[in-house]
Amino acid sequence: MNSSPSSMLSTTENRLFDQSALSDLAQRLVEAARRAGADAADAVAVRGVSQGVEVRDGRVEESERSEGDDVGLRVLVGQRQAVVSTNDVSGDAVTKLAERAVAMARVAPDDKYVGLADPALLARDFPDLDLLDPNVPATSELERRALAAEAAALAVKGVTKSGGASASAGMGGMVLVTSTGFHGSYLRSSQGISATAIAGEGTGMERDYDFTSAPHGGDLLSPEVVGRSAGERTVARYNPRKVETCKVPVVFDPRVAGSLVGHLVGAINGASIARKTSFLKDKLGQQLFARNIRIIDDPLRKRGLRSQTFDAEGVAVKKTALVDEGVLTTWLLDCATARELGLTTTGHAHRGVSSSPSPGPYNLHLEAGTPTPAELISDIKQGFYVTDLIGSGVNGVTGDYSRGASGFWIENGEITYPVSEVTIAGHLFEIFKSMQPANNLEFRYGINAPTVRIEGLTLGGR
């Protein structure tokens, strides 16, 4: 990394910057697996430290800190695979772990799709994505942030009590070593602030929240902004009305609009495609959205929440348009699902220390459109503006969509009164086809989207 550790760092955090011990451990695991009879192996070693503070009513309710090392070893014997993990690598634990993994692999069922990545696909360049903030906040600073966020929420007129506030910081490192010669590592930090506010009393209470998270503390929203936003969101929801069942345009607030991108990404996961359990299994290369729609997955975005330079199999990653000019361009693949589908991995493998690789996304976003949010709703005579979604009633096999929701009624192009206890229902094909994004894209979450308008969803009310 370009920056050096700050003097604020404890011995543990200083140790995190030096990944040589992790690298040595992963290398020894792979070598031990080969000696024990594995045809191929890879090892993941993870080290992390985190601390968090929770406050309520101006007092610290909880302050916690955790740290630890974990390692995972995957071995292949012929077409058989096993994965083992441990956090104890003292004494001869490395040798025993490798021997146990090989013994497990020998009795595992054959799987013709397992195997390490093709060496030609492995990452060789590791650009600096600026994922590490060397300035680790002290516990006292986390307390200050949480208390300031809570105070800002309580200062909003109409807020009756605090739902609590928190601040956290962490740092983690990962090393991947394979028997084909790959050796990669990265370090990332994370910081966050959140606040929850409550308005009203008894059965008439409403609550809402806001939060901010980023690898660098300097990219966080201020505690005051987070708290004030949580309070204002809560007060706006107070005294909601019911509405009649109807079919209307539905507009998704940016905080929930990303969920629509998430449903797409779940449906193009290679594991679902290989099992034929996705409603999009036959739609590769087809026009699913309007021509102005682009959905991007960018693992190389600087300071991104999910950025990294290689995937969990060591494969090089790249910025990809999953949807380009409305056309579905790719599946998300790791090596095993790619082999099963007769394709090449897209570098989307993810894994924990106790699991084999599986496909998943990185930093996702729906590109912004041209209308402002106000212009997007200006011609809606009757409609619904969604700010909160409840439940997970989305069927990835059929594409049927039904979720509980709350938000605000739109009348004559204006957001009016709060609405709660409704469902919005439709089909993801129709949702994708009618999607219209506004111009207010911000990068705040793992999945980012601007305000989005969808036509003709069924609103289930009273």
Which CATH number do you get for residue 129? 3.30.2290.10
Residue 235 lies in a domain: no
Torsion of CA 313, 319, 322, 324, to 10 degrees: -160
- Strands 447-448, 364-366: pairing is parallel
Judged on CB neighbours under 10 Å (0-12, 13-18, 19+), 219 is: middle
Buried b (16+ CB within 10 A) or exposed e, 295-332: bbbbbebebbbbbbbbbbbbbbbeebebbbebbbebbb
Going by C-alpha positions, the residue among 124, 61, 83, 446 that lies closest to residue 317 is: 124
203 shares its domain with 292: no
pLDDT confidence of residue 16: 61
Residue 137 lies in a domain: yes
Q: Among 187, 202, 227, which residue terminates a domain?
A: 227
Going by C-alpha positions, the residue among 456, 453, 428, 424 that lies closest to residue 440 is: 453
Buried b (16+ CB within 10 A) or exposed e, 409-444: bbeeeebeebbbebbbebbbeebbbbbbbbeebeeb
pLDDT confidence of residue 15: 62
* Alpha-carbon distance values, 420 to 237, 256, 339, 389, 459 (Å): 8, 15, 47, 10, 11
Q: How many domains does the chain fold into? A: 2
451 shares its domain with 384: yes
- Strands 382-390, 246-252: pairing is parallel
Residue 298 to residue 306: CA distance in whole angstroms: 9
244 shares its domain with 211: no
Q: Among 177, 204, 227, which residue terminates a domain?
A: 227
Question: For each of the chain's 462 residues, which pLDDT tens digit applies?
Answer: 333 333 334 555 566 667 888 899 999 999 999 999 999 999 999 988 999 999 999 999 999 999 888 999 999 999 999 999 988 777 788 899 999 999 999 999 999 999 999 999 999 999 999 999 988 899 999 999 999 999 999 999 999 999 999 999 999 889 999 999 999 999 999 999 999 999 988 778 999 999 999 999 999 999 999 999 999 999 999 999 999 999 999 999 999 999 999 999 999 999 999 999 999 999 999 999 999 999 999 999 999 999 999 999 999 999 999 999 999 999 999 999 999 999 999 999 999 899 999 999 999 999 999 999 999 999 999 999 999 999 878 999 999 999 999 999 999 999 999 999 899 999 999 999 999 999 999 999 999 999 999 998 999 977
Q: Among 173, 204, 227, which residue terminates a domain?
A: 227
Residue 381 lies in a domain: yes
pLDDT confidence of residue 47: 87
200 shares its domain with 316: no
Going by C-alpha positions, the residue among 173, 186, 174, 175 that lies closest to residue 309 is: 186
Q: Which residues pair with 73 in a beta bridge?
A: 43, 84
- Cα torsion angle, 371, 374, 377, 378, sign: negative
Q: Which amino acid, 223? A: P
161 shares its domain with 270: no
pLDDT confidence of residue 92: 80
Cβ(189)–Cβ(215) below 8 Å: yes
131 shares its domain with 221: yes
Residue 8 lies in a domain: no
222 shares its domain with 265: no
Q: Which amino acid, 258? A: G
- Domain residues for 218? 18-227
